Amino acid sequence: MITRTQKIRTGLRRSSLSKPRRRPPPLPKHPTPAHNALKSAAAEDPSAALHHLLSSSNPDYPACASLLYRLARTRLFPELDALLLFIRSRRIPCSNSLFSALIRHFSLASLPHKALQLFFSIPSFNCSQGSPCLHTFNHLLDALVSNGCHDESRCLLDRCSEFGLRANHVSYNIVMKGRLSRDGYDGALQVFDQMRKRGVSPSVVTYNMLIGVAGRNGELSKAKDLKEEMVKKGIYPNAVTYAILMKSFCSSGKYVAAKKLMFDMEYQGCKTKVVNFGVLMSDCGRRDDFDEMKALLAEMRVRKIKPDDVIYSILINYLCENGRMDEAYKVLVEMQVKEGCKPSAAVYRIMIDGFCKVQEFEKGLGILNAMLVSGHCPRLQTFGSLISGLVKGGRMDEVFFVLEEMVKRKLGLDLEEWHSLVDAGCGKCNGGGELLSQLTSMVFVGGDEG
């Protein structure tokens, strides 16, 4: 069975910094009018745009690539296969970045074997000599690992030389990520040993993964030994390395040691960053130590480290969980006025859910307004909780406003929520009839979260 693995940083990037071995076939530098017209048509009806392109007498790469991306995003894979066959038969020049992007889309759609098939077919396209490149190969490894195909990824890594490629630390980091999720520390260590035997130098990301799993297993001494080992090898820990170690200390109830490590890291040549304060903030929140959380915020300002949305979301989340909504709202205002930090959708959702939890639905509605103005959208259950509370309070005008916003975003209620809302509205200022009329006008389709 194919399963998705935990997201771990491996060093894989969307664009390759390495230079191609040979110049690829020339591609048009500027979109043609035909390309712009096709792009507009693809946005409205990708299938119709495909039919138009296949009947074109002189298709070019930008037009084909644009439509391929659109078909991949909308997951019209039979149409995508037809277009790939067309591109190959017409010998239209292709870039490696196109195949890397398509492999990512196959991965997101849980189709790792289609990604594998595409990779093996790359030499049959009109690409630069030496295709596929290592960057595309690494994206394929990531697609396999992310979908639980660990044995296939290991086998592919062993076959790397067959494609004229030499695996780098990113390749091994990806496979190590898969072994960590399936076999734990021992499995990752096997990949680590193989990496060194083949003359591939580990990176800081490699050690961060090993340190992280050792810390999660409560093996603090092993985690510290790995950190010392990487220093001896000339691989210097970064802020993430220290954040992982700090998190391990906090998980073992050693907050003071974690805090000391953060203050000591600068003496060891590593600048303290927001991620390190975030680890301490999260641990304080779990222990309801809000005074220490505020002290950490003050310390960040003294060090000229600007708190970001993540830091504020940690504080706001734990305040809301403890029903301290006035303090949470004050922090929400402070982050915008004092720091100029725009709240994310997650921060708004936390605030709305918090106000619903303490039955302060009018204040929750105020946050909803601010959230909608900022271009974000609540989760479906957040809408449901807010509507339910407003109905019980007899605030029917506000209920209709929220329902209208749901309709705009193609969000609907299930039957159980339907019945509960109508029942609640029937006794509120003759609002039941109005509410029923409003609900029956809605389209009951699930929507994506904004």
pLDDT in tens, 85-107: 999 999 999 999 999 999 999 99
Calculate mean pLDDT across residues 136-153: 95
> Would the pLDDT of 449 be above 90?
no
Looking at every residue in the chain, the average pLDDT score rounds to 84
The percentage of the chain sitting over the pLDDT mark of 90, rounded to a whole number, equals 60
- With cut-offs at 50, 70 and 90, classify the pLDDT of residue 269: confident
- With cut-offs at 50, 70 and 90, classify the pLDDT of residue 385: confident
Calculate mean pLDDT across residues 293-305: 93
> Would the pLDDT of 283 be above 60?
yes
Calculate mean pLDDT across residues 144-154: 94
What pLDDT was estimated at residue 56? Answer: 79
What pLDDT was estimated at residue 343? Answer: 92
The percentage of the chain sitting over the pLDDT mark of 70, rounded to a whole number, equals 82
> Would the pLDDT of 244 be above 50?
yes
Higher-pLDDT residue of 434 and 269 is 269
Calculate mean pLDDT across residues 176-198: 92
- With cut-offs at 50, 70 and 90, classify the pLDDT of residue 238: very high
Model confidence, pTM: 0.78
- CA distances to 11, 171, 222, 250, 377 from 206, in Å: 9, 11, 15, 22, 37
Higher-pLDDT residue of 429 and 133 is 133
* CA nearest neighbour of 156 among 145, 147, 146: 145
What pLDDT was estimated at residue 443? Answer: 47
- With cut-offs at 50, 70 and 90, classify the pLDDT of residue 199: very high
Buried b (16+ CB within 10 A) or exposed e, 339-361: bebebbbebbbbbbbbbbeeebb
How many other β-carbons are positioned within 10 Å of the β-carbon of residue 273? 16
What pLDDT was estimated at residue 1? Answer: 42
What pLDDT was estimated at residue 6? Answer: 47
Q: What is the DSSP letter of 342?
A: P
Instruction: Kindly give, in sequence order, each residue whose CB lies less than 8 Å from that of residue 2, ignoring residues fewer than 6 positions away.
Output: 110, 112, 147, 148, 149
Mean pLDDT is highest, among 33-47, 50-64, 167-181, for: 167-181
- CA distances to 160, 243, 270, 289 from 264, in Å: 42, 12, 9, 23
> Would the pLDDT of 433 be above 60?
no
What pLDDT was estimated at residue 149? Answer: 94
What pLDDT was estimated at residue 54? Answer: 85
- With cut-offs at 50, 70 and 90, classify the pLDDT of residue 392: confident
* CA nearest neighbour of 346 among 311, 297, 305, 298: 311
- What number of residues does the chain have? 450
- With cut-offs at 50, 70 and 90, classify the pLDDT of residue 302: very high
pLDDT in tens, 27-55: 444 555 555 555 554 556 788 888 888 88
> Would the pLDDT of 216 be above 70?
yes
pLDDT in tens, 319-372: 999 999 999 999 999 999 988 899 999 999 999 999 988 989 889 989 988 998
- 345: its two tokens: 């959708």
What pLDDT was estimated at residue 380? Answer: 80
Calculate mean pLDDT across residues 411-439: 59
